[in-house]
Amino acid sequence: MNDRRRFLAQAALSAGALAIPRGWASDPSDPRADAGARVVSTWDFGVGANQAAWKHLSTGASALDAVEQGARWAESELCNPTVGRCGNPDRDGVLTLDASIMDGDGRCGAVAAIEDIDHPISVARLVMEKTPHVMLVGEGAQQFAMAQGFRKRRLLTPEAEQAWREWRARAEYQPQINAERSVRPGNKDNHDTLGMLAIDRNGRLAGACTTSGMAWKMHGRVGDSPIVGAGLYVDNEVGAATASGVGEEMIRNAASFLVVELMRQGRAPADACREAIERVVRKRPEASKSLQVCFLALNRHGEVGAFALHAGFEYAVCDAKKQDVLHASGSIYGGGA
């Protein structure tokens, strides 16, 4: 975790957190599991996003409103090189953003490869609410956003531009391998999407997913985050799932949909995530050794679970009683995360 993110997570936690036993949220026999509204997010920076969502959830707002607000926090406040306006650009130096939003009734909206527009998650919601479509991409998404009152502004930060210049000076083009040689592609320092899932006091589910995607990707590359069923899936009858990591693997496996369908068959959230990770490994055993894929799931009873390909995946949980960052219950390579 870099210093800024450690600071944000710790500051957020110390502003009211109660320590809770690791893993409680995955235990379906825990009576607190059905205590009501809850929001969960990928990675440690999900603490701040959860708090932004909780402000709304705790006052009776819908899960849909809450996840939009949580994702907006990540897009603007977090200043993370993999989400929103502080994201790293593609190999041509262009910052493109992807986002999706979905509720448990199957309503969904998404934007992909949108440029120069803050808060792609809110554009995604407007796609859902104001158009007959599910996804708008690129220039069309930008035009739609402007027609809805968004202003075009250059988002690329000087830091991201400098990082891109440094990468360009040294890189051969293999973004999945050398986007960051020091860290595994898809891990938290390299395109770690914010995926957020919430259940409101009426038991209704929603999810949001937002990212700048893989640093130094090909111009036009779209990952899993804006693809319903890959980076995000929500169904009030069952639960919700979201993903972080190398999006190509989630798309290949319709992974978030798979996690929800496994829960429909009776799996607990962590078990469903683990089975989906095993599917990723079976499809591409060699590739899976060197890239990260992580799933987070929330079922309709409020139970939470997570699993990753490699150790290190964390997620943030927030409800009326507590907020914390928990480790995924396990990983294929590296065991307990």
User: Phi-psi region for residue 298, left (φ > 0), alpha (ψ -120 to 50) or beta?
Assistant: beta
CB of 224 to ligand GLY, least distance (A): 5
Query: How far is the CA of 1 from the CAs of 8, 224, 313, 314, in angstroms?
Result: 11, 23, 11, 11
End-to-end Cα, the chain, rounded Å? 14
Measured CA to CA, the distance from residue 65 to residue 74 in angstroms comes to 15
Q: Residue 118: which residues within 8 A CB-CB, separation 6 or more?
A: 75, 76, 84, 85, 150, 153, 155
Residue closer to ligand GLY (CB basis): 122 or 244 = 244
CB of 171 to ligand GLY, least distance (A): 18
CB of 217 to ligand GLY, least distance (A): 8
Q: Does 256 bind ligand GLY (CB under 6 A)?
A: no
Residue closer to ligand GLY (CB basis): 249 or 271 = 249
Rounded to the nearest 10 degrees, the angle between the axes of helix 46-57 and helix 3-14 is 30
Is 82 among the residues known to form the active site? Answer: no
Total residues at interface with ligand GLY (CB under 6 A): 12
Residue closer to ligand GLY (CB basis): 226 or 302 = 226
Query: How far is the CA of 281 from the CAs of 103, 287, 288, 319, in angstroms?
Result: 29, 8, 6, 33
Residue closer to ligand GLY (CB basis): 115 or 324 = 115
CB of 175 to ligand GLY, least distance (A): 10
Q: Which residues between 189 and 248 bind ligand GLY (CB under 6 A)?
A: 191, 193, 211, 213-214, 223-225, 244-247
Catalytic site residue from 96, 193, 210, 211: 193
Neighbours of 143 (CB within 10 A): 11
Residue closer to ligand GLY (CB basis): 191 or 267 = 191
Q: Which residues between 157 and 196 bind ligand GLY (CB under 6 A)?
A: 191, 193
Burial class (CB in 10 A: 0-12, 13-18, 19+), 225: buried
Residue numbers at the binding site for ligand GLY (CB under 6 A): 191, 193, 211, 213-214, 223-225, 244-247
Catalytic residues: 193
